[in-house]
Structure 1
Amino acid sequence: MKWVSFVGKLKHTTFKAAMNKVTPSYTITVDKNAAVGDFTCIQDAIDSLPIINLVRVVIKVNAGVYTEKVSIPPTKSFITIEGAGADKTIIQWGDNAQTAGPGGKPLGTFGSATFAVNSPYFIAKNITVKNTSPAPPPGAVGKQAVALRISADTASFVGCKFLGAQDTLYDHLGRHYYKDCYIEGSVDFIFGNGLSMFENCAVHAIAGAIGAVTAQARKSILEMSGFSFVNCRVTGSGALYLGRAWGAFSRVVFAYTYMDNIIIPKGWYNWGDPSREMTVFYGQYKCSGAGANHAGRVPWSRELTDEEAKPFISLSFIDGSEWVSQI
């Protein structure tokens, strides 16, 4: 536990200083009606940008359902995707891990994403990203179906919805900030190895039997990653773990969060590996609701003290003063 006392002072040295650009240089409009917008599909708008993009570009996506698979390449930084409202602007596709990709090989979880972000300083506002692949039965293999995959540093999502079942939100790599978002899924539906804060988010389970909110993949004590949920709500169906230890040093904290009675009293699962109980960091801090009772939790999770919780409940957890406050 010694590292908890200094993690709040820690500079995440694996990341460079974040110098965001928030003032738009120009705006592109996407609309289903070609007479109204510059483009009729989102990918075409992204493809129109320079191969190396160095200025903030806002892509306004008007109301409509856009059935397309979208990918932002690594060199196209500083893109903002702004919808007309999460219930009005919807991007959807239906791939899963078994879907055949180029050459006939399965896409895998990584390739199944409806929307993939591979460049830094990405912002999304007021939009829904959905994977339409049906919820798999318990124990099904190869049915991971990602709605959003974020594989880059310094990304923000405000007022967005992410809809899917197994593996909805692949928080793959980098520092990320989610505010006022809605995330829906069944098993491991927020997963990956990002360093991410979820603030005022609604987390909704659609598990038919047993599910899990998180599968955080931190593999080493040297990795600067983890998930922090602050002022969130966990609701839905099924019996739900707060997290499963995908990585041996998995790190997840829930603070000031309401939890419905669907939470399994033990709270956390060791991924079938008891040795991980010695290295994971799972904590709660001043949570509420029928599912938040810490009395039944596994002994290797913690009800955090004020001092232990402090590093996880402010934007300093993701070096947010460098980039989030500018949004």
Structure 2
Amino acid sequence: MIQFKKYIALVFFSICFSINAQNTYKNWPDVIRKNDASWFGTEEAKKIAENVLLYQRNIGGWPKNIQMQNALSETEKQKLVDLKSDLHDITTDNGATCQEMLFMSRMYAQVKDERYKESFLKGLNYLLEAQYDNGGWPQFFPLKKGYYTHITYNDNSMVNILVILKEIGEETDFYSIKPSKEIVEKAKKAFDKGIDCILKTQYKQNGVLTGWCAQHDEFTLAPANARAFELASLSGFESAKIVLLLMSIEKPSPEIITSIKSVNIWFEKTKITNLEEKRVLNDAGKIIDKKMIPTANAAPIWARFMDLETNEPFFCDRDGIRKKSLDQIGSERRNGYSWYSDAPKEVLKKYPAWAVKNGVKVSSAEASDKKKTNFITVAQDGSGDFTKIQDAIYASPAFPYEKVTVFVKNGIYNEKVRIPECNTNLALVGESKENTIITFDDNFSKINLGRNSTFYTYTLMVEGDDFSASNLTIKNTSGEKGQAIALSVVANRVKISNCNILGNQDTLYLSGKNAKQYFTDCYIEGTTDFIFGGATALFENCTIHSIKSSYVTAASTPEGTAFGFVFKNCKLTAEPSATAVYLGRPWRIYAKTVYINCEMGRHIKPEGWENWSKPDAEKNAFYAEYNCKGEGFQPAKRVAWSHQLTKKEAEKYTTENILKDSVPNWFSK
């Protein structure tokens, strides 16, 4: 379920509720997905919860596209009370009902208001009642005439429901509300029926399984039309989330395995690598035109609509007439609808590891694809291609045209690993973050190579550009013995996701000429200057943990560099004994470090920053914060030479601006 929980990544605001404050939230889903659980115990959250309760109908579901956080007048509240028994427009489309249930669960985790529990359970009962006998769900329930009665995969409606039922049926802790054993059993059965429906609706093309349509007829299970421009077809977008759900099932049946293998082959067959979408925006940032530009070796995309027999992409305007290219339909539909998607790339990325985990034997054709995509397995028990990670690196091709994936099965790998400059475009993927561990114990004194010994202490060294690592723990185990790097990155376009990076002093070194590096959903811990170096690095949704009172960062940003270290939506935590931690100090006088929307624990010193006995740094370094929170965020007490960004200044700190490179959007691949 990891891939379905990632989208619950959340942002915390500790401000008091008012009508004006409510209106600062542009979208209702932004409220649900706030980062710190404690926000859901605030008065602001409670007032929003009253709105959510009002919008819920007696049958248990909610209407869609409602900005629940907006203040309601007394007249509006009374109208909602009068609508409680109304059975129209209740749906799971556009995330409705599923997202409100999540909100109520997060509320109940902080405030044991029985109304929240009752609301969640009513929503769950609504989902169970809405299911067809064949396992599918309509777009609206009670049924609304028209295409709304079709089994609806569109915009992941049915997948969202099944994710909830999976969590309930497996009795995980994801939801704070625990249904009765009877409801748990119903959820299990409903989930199994839903999966059976998915398997039965997978479309066969000349007897070969492919993907799914956005809608399927509720009686025949055949692909079905929806709106005039949504003709029956195979969907690259909807099929991706369906198969990711199937891949999340432990001990899949032979039928599920066949389904996953088949759609993986279909995705490979239907990917488009010679087109890129170009969007033309007006001054307000609104899309005014979309064009598909022929591009050699473009990142793969898939059409939202593909012919059921030929897989050929097609496009429709509101007249329902099929066209062969996007430029043949009017601007309203061309610019107002998503005609292409890169969602299937996540399936192709995860499939090799899933196949290894589930012992899937590949056909000769698939084996050829595996060789072509350069997939190497490391396993200590001898079941892979190599037993050591470094041996797999040595066996990887130099400067490959396609990504090389080194999949590392669970185990403690006590080795020093180096990704040389020639090993570009390499992905190091662990079986699990908790149990795939790369560890070594070098430190400054042990290396003993002079004043620069620090840079030889790494456990993992990355020198090859376009590197990625995920689902790993990278650890330097030397302890309190001076400088000792766990991860050293001296390459460009490096992405580290869902990893633990553990050490003490100098845990994480980031460098490289004009290098851009991206860390997301990582846990990083250390003591002194445990994130240091001169690269431009963005940290998003990471936990930064101080083991003792010292310094978090020591940037050495080169003069004239636009961005240094940027932390967005991160959480700064510490051991109880660490009570006096600085946000950073300048290793070099042009250091740049910025914290945006971060939660800072009480261990952060009020003054925030230290000049490392370098008066020139106070004139040249750039240390700043914006919209942070927590006991450690004390802007009035910060050193005078640091900055609190304005909203306009903070707006330039987008992922695109920080990580801009000659390879566009590399960080999202």
Common topology (TM > 0.5):
yes
1:48 aligns with 2:388: no
Counterpart secondary structure, 1:311: coil
Alignment match, 2:496: 157
Task: Quote how far apart the aligned CAs of 1:274 are.
Answer: 1.4
Task: Quote how far apart the aligned CAs of 1:168 are.
Answer: 0.2
Alignment match, 1:31: 379
Task: Quote how far apart the aligned CAs of 1:106 are.
Answer: 7.6
- 1:1-327 alignment to 2 at 5 Å? 25-34=373-382, 36-100=383-447, 108-136=453-481, 143-173=482-512, 174-207=515-548, 210-220=549-559, 222-237=560-575, 238=578, 239-319=580-660, 322-327=664-669
Which TM-score applies when normalising by structure 1? 0.86
Query: Partner amino acid for 1:128?
Result: T
Which TM-score applies when normalising by structure 2? 0.43
Counterpart secondary structure, 1:292: coil
Maintained 8 Å contact 2:518/2:667:
no
Maintained 8 Å contact 1:20/1:326:
no
Distance in structure 1 (CA, Å) of the matches to 2:623 and 2:446: 34
Distance in structure 1 (CA, Å) of the matches to 2:486 and 2:299: 25
Task: Quote how far apart the aligned CAs of 1:91 are.
Answer: 0.1
Counterpart secondary structure, 2:550: strand
- Which has the larger Rg? 2
**Residues 255-297 of structure 1: CA deviation (Å, up to 9, x unaligned):** 0000000001110010101121011111110001000111110
**Residues 162-197 of structure 1: CA deviation (Å, up to 9, x unaligned):** 000000000122100101000000100000001110
Query: Partner amino acid for 2:470?
Result: K
Distance in structure 2 (CA, Å) of the matches to 1:153 and 1:224: 16
Query: Partner amino acid for 1:66?
Result: Y
Maintained 8 Å contact 1:79/1:121:
yes
Counterpart secondary structure, 1:178: strand
Higher relative contact order (CA 8 A, sep 6+): 1
Maintained 8 Å contact 1:268/1:297:
yes
Query: Partner amino acid for 1:230?
Result: K
Counterpart secondary structure, 2:616: helix
What is the percentage of aligned positions where both structures have the same residue? Answer: 37
Task: Quote how far apart the aligned CAs of 1:324 are.
Answer: 3.5
CA 1:95–1:59 in 2, change beyond 3 Å: closer, same or farther? Answer: same
Counterpart secondary structure, 1:290: coil
Task: Quote how far apart the aligned CAs of 1:84 are.
Answer: 1.2
- Which one has a larger percent helix, Structure 1 or Structure 2? 2
Counterpart secondary structure, 1:66: strand
Q: CA RMSD in A?
A: 2.0
Maintained 8 Å contact 1:86/1:160:
yes
Query: Partner amino acid for 1:194?
Result: A
Distance in structure 2 (CA, Å) of the matches to 1:87 and 1:324: 27
Counterpart secondary structure, 1:121: coil
User: Any unmatched runs of 5+ in structure 2?
Assistant: 1-297, 301-344, 350-372
Task: Quote how far apart the aligned CAs of 1:20 are.
Answer: 7.9
Maintained 8 Å contact 2:546/2:573:
yes
Deviates most, 182-191 or 222-231: 222-231
CA 1:325–1:93 in 2, change beyond 3 Å: closer, same or farther? Answer: closer
CA 1:177–1:291 in 2, change beyond 3 Å: closer, same or farther? Answer: same
CA 1:325–1:185 in 2, change beyond 3 Å: closer, same or farther? Answer: closer
Task: Quote how far apart the aligned CAs of 1:225 are.
Answer: 4.5
Distance in structure 2 (CA, Å) of the matches to 1:271 and 1:133: 26
Query: Partner amino acid for 2:456?
Result: G
Maintained 8 Å contact 1:69/1:114:
yes
Counterpart secondary structure, 1:54: coil
Distance in structure 2 (CA, Å) of the matches to 1:313 and 1:183: 22
Task: Quote how far apart the aligned CAs of 1:79 are.
Answer: 0.4
Alignment match, 1:14: none
